[in-house]
Structure 1
Amino acid sequence: MLAMRPNCECCDTDLPADTAGAWICSFECTFCASCALGPLAGRCPNCDGGLQMRPLRVGSALARHPGSSTRVRAERAAATHVERASNPPPRLAGVRALCSEDRREWEALWEGYLAFYGSALAPSTTEATWRRLLDPSAPMFGRVAVAADGALLGFALALPHAGSWTVEPQCYLEDLFVAPGARGAGVGRALMEDLLARCRAEGWTRLYWHTQAGNAVARRLYEGYARPDDMLRYRMLLPTAYSGA
């Protein structure tokens, strides 16, 4: 049974057992979403294992088995928090279209994005995605946030398409990712604003996306633009989806 530790070991934020937003490693080192997805970059500073969202404990289960009241501050995690505070993220210069010269940096960000979701793709799938993003005849496109020194800070991948409920096209934001070291500098917001400007310029009348319910950092950004609705997502992986994977 999980101890359900009550605080972030990095910044000491309260993390009640019945509230989303806690991330844990296999040893149950516990962190808030801001630290887990920001300075810790999805890795536990104590064991170097991956971090995953902690499940909730609610209702009668919580009454029978309350979470731990022992607060933990890990020296290595706290040092990471202090280091982050003393090393501000790089300055954002702007957002532009993805180009062929970005391959190496984009792929590094892409691998970080997949690692965050605990996913892995065959190299052939990543290659196909890259080719689509650079193909002017393909509907999918990519935008990248760039630092003053030209380094890539994040990306947004989107897919405009026709819909049955609108006359005009709509746009699906499939992927948005900000490098851990660049978080807190307005990069995610800049990517969103850039995409909104593209939608308005093209006459796309609907922009939509989804994220994990427990991804508190992303939700703080997204809910500045729209509120989540009550629709559920259903997804089937058909046999052909596994080709080359």
Structure 2
Amino acid sequence: MSISFSKKGKKTSGKNRAFLTAIALCCAAVALVAWSSALNNSSQSATDYKVEDFPVQDYTDSNIEWYDDESESVYHEEEPVPPSQSVSVEENLPEITQPVSIQTEYTDPAAVSVSATVSTADTEIELAEVSYQLPISGGIICDFSGNDLVFSKTMCDWRVHQGIDIECAVGTSITSCGNGTVFDVIDDPMFGTTVIMDLSGGKTLYYCGLESSSVTVKKGQSVKAGDILGTVGVVPCESADGTHLHLALVKDGVYVDPIASLGIK
């Protein structure tokens, strides 16, 4: 089957296209005229009105009404009082006939009493303080070594010396260096019979090398400076150094020099 076009058909098709084109042009012209007319009307409307034509509301303070949301009541701003009707505050004040004393500094009674208490306590502490003394008369044959090692003739080794050795004869009376309480009396295999005494300020004294049978104090007993504790015996771990009293002081858990810490001269 073949497709063919006649001359008559070709002419008919050309006429249709011309007709449609004419209709389209007419529609475009109509749309253009309508758009131009609308634009002119809009411009005219904008120019017809002036600023003076709009109503102006007077927003002066006298016309403002304040509203409270909670009470829904209206508050009007109060008008100023003329000078002739003003009220003087001084007219309502009472007349002062006598001078008034104004206290500019506040003194707390509690602070005064506390201060007095502290001062009294300091005075009592100062009166209670006593000087310390050596427990026996004699020369120091071995000083406190701290962390330094010293040679022990008895033990034949190097070790720290945590006290002082005071030379004396056997049977010499030993007195208390100061006021205190006997913490305990023990027999130590290395240092012999030892009286342990608590002093004030976290200090503990060790009197080592007493004759066991000569001890005159017991645990819990209060003693004063100069009270006799016993007599000198032997210090087993230092016997090669001759007869002496080994005196050691512990302060806050640490061995310290008794001479320097107690202020013994």
TM value normalised by structure 2: 0.18
The structure having more radius of gyration, on CA atoms, is: 2
TM value normalised by structure 1: 0.19
Q: Larger relative contact order (C-alpha < 8 A, sep ≥ 6)? A: 1
Higher strand share: 2
